[in-house]
Amino acid sequence: MFDNLPLWPARASAGAGNVDALYIFLVLLATFMSVAIFSMILVFALRYRRQPGRTAEQIEGSNALEITWSVVPLGIFMVIFAWGAVIYFQERTPPRDATEIYVVAKQWMWKLEHVEGQREINELHVPVGRDIEMIMTSQDVIHSFYVPAFRIKQDVLPGRYTTAWFRAIKPGVYHLFCAEYCGSQHSGMIGQVVVMEPAQYEAWLSGGNTSGSLASNGESIFQQLGCVTCHRSDTQGRGPSLAGIFGKPVQLEDGRTVIADENYIRESILSPSAKIVKGFKPIMPVFQGLVSEEQLTELVAYVKSLSAPPGAGTKVQESKVQ
């Protein structure tokens, strides 16, 4: 019977247990409170039901009670808040060395790219036990990346990157839903996450046909678009060198400092004049409309690879030349 009526979603990520724990706590709390209120109503209604000869006793109220039932719930609420906040903080803080997967959502499909270059549509293969960070953007409207078995959900927005991360702990095939209404085929924008044992995953990786890693693709776009003429790694060009900048603070011409994260790189490609690096001129052309979201992710991946410590994994080896 429970094949058709499962009452609990699969628990397939490291974070899912924490969410479930708080959820179970809240279910117990809510059940207790509901039962308490319901039975109080029931008991009062029966015990004090209208009977000939008895009159109600007029009671004005009680400040002590009012304070009690304001302060005690507030205390409990703050515990729930703190507990929920801790989980949220973990969910929103990807480990630094997480493997990145770039996601481009569009009406009505998910396009996923592994750094090694595998591209998938509506299907995501990941190994058990590895931290995975999704770097996501949308080509059109707002979508939302939702894997119930991992208890993660993150809206995917046009015009910027949002991120989410998970570590799968149980091999299997899980739903990937779009959770933000996005038009006609919103309910068709579903896919699956295939969690594999590491060995199987390696086999899958090497089996797929790839067209080069993300970073190396990004590098060739970097050459094609002529970015390399100004952003040089050997000498100081007309644009700032991009080596080692990722994740570091950047001094801007107007005195502000920003962190060079994915959104900053993205903005600097699409709208270069928005945040000019100190000491440089706003001479870079605008690439808005000239590069696709996929090309953008590849460029971002390339720029990021320039900041990876030497030997930090195979994914950046080829791009370290130059």
Q: Quick count: other Cβ atoms within 10 Å of Cβ 20?
A: 14
β-pair partners for 101? 114, 134
Which part of the chain contacts another protein (CB under 8 A), choosing from 88-96, 210-218, 223-231, 312-320?
A: 88-96
Please report, as residue ranges, which positions from 59 to 78 form the binding site for another protein (by CB under 8 A): 59-62, 65-66, 69-70, 73-74, 77-78
Please report, as residue ranges, which positions from 103 to 132 form the binding site for another protein (by CB under 8 A): 107
- Closest among 12, 306, 298, 284 to 135, alpha carbons compared: 298
* Residue whose CB is less far from another protein, 148 or 208: 148
Name the DSSP class of 275.
S
Which part of the chain contacts another protein (CB under 8 A), choosing from 7-15, 205-213, 229-237, 290-298?
A: 7-15
Is 282 strand, coil or helix? coil
Which part of the chain contacts another protein (CB under 8 A), choosing from 120-128, 140-148, 208-216, 217-225?
A: 140-148
What is the sign of the dihedral through the CA atoms of 268, 269, 273 and 276?
Answer: positive
Is residue 310 a contact point for another protein (CB under 8 A)?
no
Q: Quick count: other Cβ atoms within 10 Å of Cβ 208?
A: 14
β-pair partners for 52? none
Please report, as residue ranges, which positions from 171 to 230 form the binding site for another protein (by CB under 8 A): 175, 177-188, 190
Please report, as residue ranges, which positions from 142 to 171 form the binding site for another protein (by CB under 8 A): 142, 144, 146, 148-149, 151-155, 157-160, 162
Please report, as residue ranges, which positions from 248 to 307 form the binding site for another protein (by CB under 8 A): 258-259, 261, 263, 271, 273-274, 276, 282, 286, 288
Is residue 141 a contact point for another protein (CB under 8 A)?
yes
d(CA 175, CA 115): 22
Q: Phi first, then psi: give them for residue 26, nearest 5 degrees.
A: -70, -35
Least distance from another protein to the Cβ atom of residue 212, Å: 29
Asked whether the beta carbons of 317 and 231 are under 8 A apart, the reply is no
Is residue 54 a contact point for another protein (CB under 8 A)?
yes
Least distance from another protein to the Cβ atom of residue 96, Å: 8
d(CA 191, CA 252): 42
